[in-house]
Amino acid sequence: MVAIWELLLLVLANHLLRASEAGARPCLRSAMGFDPSYCLSWRVAVEANNVRAWRTVPAQCVRYIEEYMVGGQYCRDLDTVVDQILAYLNGITAAADGLDAWILDVDDTCLSNTLYYKDKHFGGDPFDRMAFKSWALRGTSPAILAVLHLYRKLIERGFKVFLITGRDEEVFCSSTTQNLHAQGFTGYERLIMRSAEFRGAGATAFKSERRKQLVAEGFRIRGNVGDQWSDLLGDCAGDRIFKIPNPMYFVP
Ligand SMILES: [Mg+2]
């Protein structure tokens, strides 16, 4: 018996030595099917805007992103961002002139498309314009609850909330308005959608132009919240910008 155990230990030691010589980490990768440390780095780089113009989640990270989105960490990250926004909000006051404004993006900021992306491997599949159009026209995207909570605080505190979205006005105006209202986003100042003149323009250019107009109208943009850097960069971005996590897609 002793000889058999000694033999087994020798085989195991030999296997680990060979794996180590090859520079592999067999236990971690084979047990989970992906390398979580690589995927965590990729996600952090995406959130920091260091990885740009990516079309799909890397194949080896699809399961990791799924786990991130539905396993609790995404919700925790959302709560952390909203806690920081609320802390900032506690230090500012809306003036009586009614010109203190906040900008919120719509898709995956106010309304969640995670259910749609579940069928698209959480961003592992390339963007499917027609399928997304059908989804958005249904107007059934649920609210992101942490952001709805923030939204209600902003309205309650007397700020003017402008929802600026890259969705095409002609196609999505009715479904988006209906969806927002059904999910509790009522009482905003304006829903600003992509008009015909901005078709094909990048989100940063379109959103910058709309924010500039608001500033020209006299509004002071106290905060700007979006899940894409293209919501937050450019002109008249606001006193503070807040990035909502989204590792499923990139909007230029
Ligand atoms: Mg968005």
Considering the entire predicted model, what is its pTM? 0.87
Would you tell me which CATH number, out of the four given (2.30.40.10, 3.60.15.10, 3.90.600.10, 3.40.50.1000), belongs to the domain 33-243?
3.40.50.1000
- Residues 117-152 pLDDT 10s: 999 999 999 999 999 999 999 999 999 999 999 999
Expressed in angstroms and rounded, the spacing between residue 245 Cα and the centre of ligand 1 is: 10
Separation of alpha carbons 69 and 179, rounded Å = 22
Burial of 15 (0-12, 13-18, 19+ CB in 10 A): exposed
Expressed in angstroms and rounded, the spacing between residue 235 Cα and the centre of ligand 1 is: 18
Expressed in angstroms and rounded, the spacing between residue 100 Cα and the centre of ligand 1 is: 22
- Residues 102-115 pLDDT 10s: 999 999 999 999 99
- Residues 9-68 pLDDT 10s: 344 344 433 433 344 444 445 455 678 899 999 999 999 999 999 999 999 999 999 999
Residue-by-residue DSSP string for 209-228: HHHHHHHHTT-EEEEEEESS
Expressed in angstroms and rounded, the spacing between residue 244 Cα and the centre of ligand 1 is: 9
Expressed in angstroms and rounded, the spacing between residue 50 Cα and the centre of ligand 1 is: 18
Expressed in angstroms and rounded, the spacing between residue 203 Cα and the centre of ligand 1 is: 10
Q: Which residue has the higher pLDDT, 7 or 227?
A: 227
Domain residue spans in the chain? 1-32, 33-243
Q: Is the per-residue pLDDT at 201 higher than 50? A: yes
Expressed in angstroms and rounded, the spacing between residue 165 Cα and the centre of ligand 1 is: 7
Expressed in angstroms and rounded, the spacing between residue 158 Cα and the centre of ligand 1 is: 24
Expressed in angstroms and rounded, the spacing between residue 14 Cα and the centre of ligand 1 is: 51
CA-to-CA separations, 222 to 49, 160, 178, 240, in angstroms, rounded: 22, 10, 27, 6
> Average per-residue pLDDT in the chain?
91
Expressed in angstroms and rounded, the spacing between residue 109 Cα and the centre of ligand 1 is: 6
Expressed in angstroms and rounded, the spacing between residue 189 Cα and the centre of ligand 1 is: 19
- The size of the chain, in residues, is 252
Q: Which residue has the higher pLDDT, 216 or 15?
A: 216
Separation of alpha carbons 101 and 189, rounded Å = 9
Looking at residue 34, what is its pLDDT? Answer: 72
251: CB partners within 8 A, 6+ apart: 166, 203, 228, 230
Separation of alpha carbons 246 and 43, rounded Å = 9
Looking at residue 140, what is its pLDDT? Answer: 98
Other CB atoms within a 10 A radius of the CB of residue 131 amount to 13
Task: Give the CA diameter of the chain.
Answer: 88
- Residues 150-172 pLDDT 10s: 999 999 999 999 999 999 999 99
Cross-strand partners of 175? none
- CA-based nearest residue to 246, from 114, 71, 86: 114
Separation of alpha carbons 79 and 91, rounded Å = 19
Expressed in angstroms and rounded, the spacing between residue 156 Cα and the centre of ligand 1 is: 24
